[in-house]
Amino acid sequence: MREVNVPIRGLRAERLPRTVWWLVLARAINRLGAFSVGFLTVLITAEFGVSAVAAGVVAAAFGLATIPSRLLGGVLADRLGRRRTIVAGLVGCALAQAGIAVSGSVAMVAGFAVLLGLAFEVYEPPSQAMIADAVRPAQQAQAFSLFNTALAVGGMGAGLIAAGLGRWDLRWLFVADAVSCLLCAVVIRLVLPADRPAPVPVPAPDASPGASPGSAPDASSGFGHGSGSGSGGPSRGTWAAWRDRRLLVLLLSGTLFAVIFMQVGMAMPLALARRGMEAADAGLLSAVAAVVMVLCQPLLRWTAALSHHAAMTWGYLLLATGLAGYAASGGLPGHLAATLVWSAGDVLMFGRSYALVVDLAPPDARGRYLSVFGTCWGFATVLAPLSGTQLLDRAGPEGLWGGLAAACLLLAVAQHTVIRPLLDRQAPAL
C-alpha cells in the first residue's frame, strides 16, 4: 500500500473545504439531540411499568438494528447519492423518535425503537464518503478526526439538554431529538452540494489487460486516491467489500479498538463507584475528553509527515498509557490526567483509521467500504457491556483498565508488525 505523506508546512497552508465544516456542524447539531436513546429503557419502565429485563430487550433490539442500518447507508450512499441518503436517514430518525414520543404501549415503543435503529446509522457512511470526496488524501486524517470531535462536543451539550428536559417529561427528550434531526436534515439539504452520478473508473488507454481499472483518479473529487484507487477496481455488488481481506483485517482491529473506547463511557461510572468516588464524575471526565479533542487538533498537522500506520501506533501507545493511568489512580486528579493522555491518542489515530479505509476503497464503493468498517461500532455495542462488566466484576477497576491498556499495546504492536505488512503484501501492483 502506498502511503501519502506531505510536508507539514504544505498541509498548514491548506484549509479544509466548506463541505467538511458544514458536515461537522450538522453532526454536532444532530448529536445535541441524540441523547434520548440512553433514556429509552427508563421511559419503558417508568411509563409502562415493565421490568428492567424487558426494557433491556427493547434496547438490545435497537442496538442490533443499527448494524444493518450502517450497511444500508453505505449502499444508498453509492447508489442513491450522498446528500439524499443523509437527508433520508435523518428524516427517518425524526419520524421514529416522534413515534416513540407518542406511543401508547410497549409494543409500539419496541416497533419504533427498531425502526429508529434501522435509520440511526444511515447518516454515517454517506457523510464519511462525502468527506473523502471533498478533501485531498493528505487531509483525510484531519477531516475525519474533526468529524469525530464534533460528536464529542455535541455530546457535552446533549448532557445539559437531557438534564433539563428529563426532569420535566421523558417523552419530550424524543420530541427534541426529532426536531434536531429535522433541523440537521434542512442544513444538509440547503448547504451541501447536490449529488452527482457515482464515478465509474475507466482504465487508461495503455493499461495492461491485468491492470486494475480502479487506479484512475476519482472523478467526483478531482483528486487521486493513493493505493486505494487501485485496490479493487469497480465494485461488483453489495458484498464486494466483505470479500476484501484487507478491509476485514481493519474491521477486526477496529472492532477491538471500539470495544476499548466504549468501555471508557460505559464502565467508567461503575468503576468510579467501586473506588468510592462519585459516579457522576464520569460526566466531568467525558467533558474534559471533548475539550482535549478540540485543543489537540493541531497535533494532526504536526504529525502529518508520519504514515498512517506510524501515527496509529503512537496513538495506541498514548491510549495504553492513559488507561494504565486509570488503573493506577485512586482519585479524581489522576483520572483527569489519564483522560488528557488517552484523548490525545484518540485524536492521533481515529482519523487515520478511516483514511486507511478510504485508501482501500474503489472510488465507486467508498460508502460501502466505510459502512462495513463502521459496523465495528455495532459489534462493540454488543461486546463492550458484556466484557466490561465481567472484567470489572472479576478483576476490579485495576484489572479492567489494566486489561484494556494491554489490549491497546497489542493493537500498537499488531498495527506496525502485522497489519501494515499484510496490507502491503496484498495490495496489487500499480
Residue 62: other Cβ atoms inside 10 A: 24
What CATH code is carried by the domain that includes residue 399? 1.20.1250.20
Q: What is the pLDDT of residue 240?
A: 74
The answer to whether 74 and 67 have CB atoms below 8 angstroms apart is: no
Confidence bin at 224 (pLDDT 50/70/90)? very low
Per the structure, the count of domains in the chain is 2
Q: Is residue 8 predicted with pLDDT exceeding 50? A: no
The listed range with the strongest mean pLDDT (25-34, 53-62, 303-312) is 303-312
Q: How far apart are CA 257 and CA 350, in angstroms?
A: 10
Name the DSSP letter for residue 198: P
Confidence (pLDDT) at 175: 87
- CB-CB contact of 172 with 121 (8 Å): no
CB-neighbour burial class of residue 3 (10 A; exposed 0-12, middle 13-18, buried 19+) = middle
The span from the CA of 96 to the CA of 114, in Å, is 9
Residues 182, 76 share a domain: yes
Residue 116 has pLDDT above 80, yes or no: yes
User: What percent of the chain lies above the pLDDT cut of 70?
Assistant: 78
Query: Using alpha carbons only, what angle is made at residue 15 by residues 9 and 17, rounded to the nearest 5 degrees?
Result: 150
With contact defined as beta carbons under 8 Å apart, do 406 and 398 qualify? no
- pLDDT of 228 reads 37
Residues 311 and 380 placed together within one structural domain of the fold: yes
Check whether residue 180 and residue 230 sit in a common domain: no
Concatenate the DSSP letters of all residues of 48-98 into one string: H---HHHHHHHHHHHHHHHHHHHHHHHHHHHHT-HHHHHHHHHHHHHHHHH
Give the best-scoring range by mean pLDDT among 37-46, 131-140, 177-186, 197-206.
Answer: 177-186
Q: Does 5 reside within a domain?
A: no
In a domain, 382, yes or no: yes
* Model pLDDT, residue 207: 39
153/247 same-domain check: no
Asked if residue 196 belongs to a domain, the reply is no
Residue 230 in any domain: the answer is yes
Q: Is 260 exposed, middle or buried (0-12, 13-18, 19+ CB in 10 A)?
A: buried
Neighbours of 298 (CB within 10 A): 11
Give the range with max mean pLDDT: 34-38, 297-301, 342-346, 421-425.
Answer: 342-346
3-state class (DSSP) for residue 229: helix
Q: Is residue 133 part of a domain?
A: yes
C-alpha span between 388 and 11 (Å, rounded): 40
- Same domain membership, residue 132 and residue 187: yes
Task: Say whether both 255 and 184 belong to one domain.
Answer: no
Give the side-chain half-sphere CA count within 13 A for 152.
25
Q: Please report, for residues 34, 37, 234, the alpha-carbon distance to residue 158 in angstroms, rounded to integers and kept in the order given.
A: 7, 11, 41
What mean pLDDT do residues 252-270 have? 86
Q: Are residue 36 and residue 156 in the same domain, yes or no?
A: yes
Closest CA to 311 of 301, 321, 323: 301
- In the three-class reduction of DSSP (H, G, I as helix; E, B as strand; rest coil), residue 220 is classed as coil
Q: Rounded mean pLDDT of 380-403?
A: 84
Q: Has this prediction a pTM greater than 0.75? A: no
- For the ranges 25-39, 67-81, 208-222, which has the lowest average pLDDT? 208-222
Q: Quick one: DSSP state of residue 224?
A: -
> What is 392-406 written as a DSSP string?
HHHHHHHHHHHHHHH
- pLDDT of amino acid 12: 43
What's the rounded Cα separation, in Å, for the pair 424 and 2?
8
pLDDT at 413 over 70: yes
Type of residue at 346: D
Same-domain check for residues 302 and 184: no
* 8 Å CB contact between 365 and 243: no
- Same-domain pairing of 31 and 170: yes
**Boundaries of domain holding 389:** 225-426
**How far is residue 76's CA from residue 212's CA, in Å, rounded to a whole number?**
24
- Please check whether residue 145 lies inside any domain of the structure: yes
pLDDT at 346 over 80: yes
Res. 230: pLDDT tops 60: no
The three grid cell numbers given for residue 169, joined into one nine-digit string: 417529561
Same domain, 237 and 185: no
Closest to 294 (Cα-Cα) out of 146, 178, 426, 418 = 146
Contact 305, 7 (CB under 8 A): yes
Which of residues 191, 209, 236 is at a domain's end? Answer: 191
Find, among 371, 18, 16, the residue nearest to 192 by Cα.
Answer: 18
Q: Any idea what DSSP says for residue 15? A: P
Q: Are residues 257 and 331 in the same domain?
A: yes
Residue of 276, 275, 274, 293 lying closest to 285 (CA atoms): 293
